[in-house]
Amino acid sequence: MPLSLDPGAVGIGLKHRHVDALLAEPRPVDFLELHAENYMGAGGPVRERLHAIAAAYPLSVHGVGMSLGGAERPDPVHLGRLVALVEELAPARVSEHLAWSRLDGDFYNDLLPVPLTEESLALVARNVDIVQQALGRRLLIENPSLYVRLEMNTLDEADFLAELVARTGCGLLLDINNAYISAHNLGRDLEAYLAALPGHAVGEFHLAGHSLDTAATPPLRIDDHGGPVCDDVWARYARLARQHPAVPTLIEWDTRVPSLDRWVAEAERARAHRAGIPYPAVGQ
């Protein structure tokens, strides 16, 4: 049976460099998120350490390569590996992206934007259904960070996600940093976007840092997960977390990865925001 998380749990990502420290001394993190593709073929000592981590901390499995937004059905080999990993670890959450990364048998090392059309919605719903049936559980779908608006779009992203939830029973992984980035880059009304999402379907929050590319015209916010969460994202999170107090939160940090203590401090800041307690900014 999948493990459960305490209401309002706050977690961090699992990085190989931090495994020894996490096992040597319990840290004040409520769960750890691992990227599914990093462990689909892992064996030997890596697998042993993963099982030790799973015995010490609840887990969340986050996929990046299922290509749910593609025209093709999920790759059966990739899906089989995901199912095996989930059955082995019994994580509290399983999530994937609203994106595509596979075409005609070729895999692309990127999360490419999904056209927001009725045809695309039907394909994504089909693919989500396939994955959920294989997993035997609800899948959380993460909103993307976007840099260009597709001219073919006929639906708003929030409406697209709401209809996907209605058709498949999936949940949402609300990445507040992604929503902030997309609003800036596309000129989208962030507050209207957040209000239009089906709040009852949000099963997890993601928070991360980003960078500003001032060489672009106009400047672009880049989802690099390379620093602390910015104040504007914290402000939205504080409000949303109080509206949805039971929803767990994951702090991502995938480039320029800090020390474990620094990452844990960012998780503590999330707890403070949830409780409405002022928390001093800390350096990297």
Q: How many CB atoms lie within 10 A of CB 14?
A: 22
Does the structure show a pLDDT above 80 at 2? no
> Would you say 62 and 106 are in contact if contact means Cβ atoms under 8 Å apart?
no
Task: Give 17-44 pLDDT, tens digit per residue.
Answer: 999 999 999 999 999 999 999 999 867 8
Tens of pLDDT, residue by residue over 67-116, are 999 999 999 999 999 999 999 999 999 999 999 887 666 666 678 899 99
Domain locations along the chain: 10-275
Question: pLDDT value at position 246?
Answer: 96
Task: Please count the CA atoms within 13 angstroms of the CA of 123 that sit on its side-chain side.
Answer: 18
Q: How deeply is 29 buried, as exposed, middle or buried, from its count of CB atoms within 10 A (0-12, 13-18, 19+)? A: buried
Across residues 188-207, what is the average pLDDT? 98
Q: Count Cβ atoms below 10 Å from residue 201 Cβ, excluding itself.
A: 20
At the second CATH level, the architecture of 10-275 is Alpha-Beta Barrel (3.20)
| Per-residue confidence (pLDDT) for residue 103, from 0 to 100 | 67
Residue 245 to residue 94: CA distance in whole angstroms: 20
Average pLDDT of the chain, as a whole number: 93
Per-residue pLDDT, 236: 97
Quickly count: other Cβ atoms within 10 Å of residue 40's Cβ: 16
Which residues, in sequence order, are CB contacts of 261 under 8 Å at separation 6+? none
Q: What pTM, to 2 d.p., does this model score?
A: 0.94
Between CA 174 and CA 227 the distance in angstroms is 19
- Closest to 265 (Cα-Cα) out of 247, 251, 277: 251
